[in-house]
Structure 1
Amino acid sequence: MLDVKSIEELVKPICEQKGLLLYEVLWVKEYGFQVLRVSIDKPEGGIDSDTLGVVNELLSEKLDAYDDDMPEYMLEVCSPGAERTLRNKDEILAAVGQYVNVKTPDSTYEGTLLSYEGDTIVVEINIKGRLKKVSINEADIKKIRLAVKI
């Protein structure tokens, strides 16, 4: 079975050719089936199903060369999702201005990410109709993800 790194090396040139970002490659087991999940996105976000289909087809062709080394699996090329986890500083910086969910050991905040400077993020939250800015130290963030504002 090809490992995640090897699959990433197959996907990266496809993404570069199409002007896309590779978000994540995972092997997961769902309902007893091995699933190779490849998450991609456009730099500006909002990838469409036609693009996902094209990448699926191109990657499938490349993976066919490794059939002997692969278990029976399903290939899933998808977007990272509207509520994807922000995994590193670059992704957090790119999310400035967007609605986020931030978990700390003491609380959970949902609001607009206003800034990320040094080791501190500032989130504007709504408390009973009043907007309040909350500064959160990077070391206190257990998880930060994009959120859908309802």
Structure 2
Amino acid sequence: MKDADKLNDALVSVVAGAGLYLEQVELKPAGKRTLLRVTVDLEDGPGGVGSDQLADVSRKISAFLDESPAAPSGQYVLEVSTPGATRTLTEPRHFRRAQGRKVVLATAGGDITGRLDSVEGDTLSLSNGGQAREISLSDVLSARMDVEL
């Protein structure tokens, strides 16, 4: 088992205890140190992780790592963040999290941009300029959230 996988297994309950979902754990060399990047999110549905939640889970992860043999050896930098505004949507949970947001979908028939109104089973309901459209998740080749300025 890789070190990142061990850390992922060790941190799942810490992150869940803070009311969040552990999206990803990455370990990367950063000079003489190691960068430990922990990505957290809400478990499901629309909404966002607040700054207070992010600070709380960061403190809990840091405290856990101070006492854990699973912590990276040597010096490391802990970075705790969310997936971000332009996250790639790869799992049904990601689409449910993106409800209400503008998304860009790549399909065999071309790109589709619109507001993701709902996710029911494997069907996405999008609207764009008053036009409603339903798309099956199986028809989506790739997808991402789009930033609205």
So what's the TM-score if we normalise by structure 2?
A: 0.73
Match of 1:6 in 2: 6
Does residue 144 of structure 2 align to residue 142 of structure 1?
no
Shift in CA distance, 69/90, structure 1 to aligned 2, threshold 3 Å: closer
The letter for the 2-side match of 1:10 is A
In the alignment, the residues of structure 1 paired with residue 19 and residue 71 of structure 2 have an alpha-carbon distance, to the nearest angstrom, of 31
Structure 1 stretch 39-48 or stretch 104-113: which is displaced more? 39-48
Partner of 1:96, secondary structure, is coil
In the alignment, the residues of structure 2 paired with residue 135 and residue 146 of structure 1 have an alpha-carbon distance, to the nearest angstrom, of 17
- Contact 2:105/2:143 (8 A) holds in 1: yes
- Contact 1:15/1:22 (8 A) holds in 2: yes
In the alignment, the residues of structure 2 paired with residue 100 and residue 35 of structure 1 have an alpha-carbon distance, to the nearest angstrom, of 30
Unaligned runs of 5+ in 1: none
Match of 1:16 in 2: 16
The letter for the 2-side match of 1:91 is H
**Counterparts of 1:92-103 in structure 2 under 5 Å?**
92-103=95-106
Equivalent pairs counted in the alignment come to 146
Deviation at 1:107, TM superposition (A): 2.3
Deviation at 1:36, TM superposition (A): 1.5
Structure 1 stretch 3-12 or stretch 26-35: which is displaced more? 26-35
Residue identity over aligned pairs, in percent, reads 30
Deviation at 1:8, TM superposition (A): 1.9
Unaligned runs of 5+ in 2: none
Shift in CA distance, 125/28, structure 1 to aligned 2, threshold 3 Å: farther
- Contact 2:124/2:136 (8 A) holds in 1: yes
Alpha-carbon displacement from aligned partner over 1:21-44 (angstroms, at most 9, x marks no partner): 222222345688642211113456
Alpha-carbon displacement from aligned partner over 1:74-101 (angstroms, at most 9, x marks no partner): 2100122122222312332343333222
Match of 2:114 in 1: 111
- Contact 1:102/1:145 (8 A) holds in 2: yes
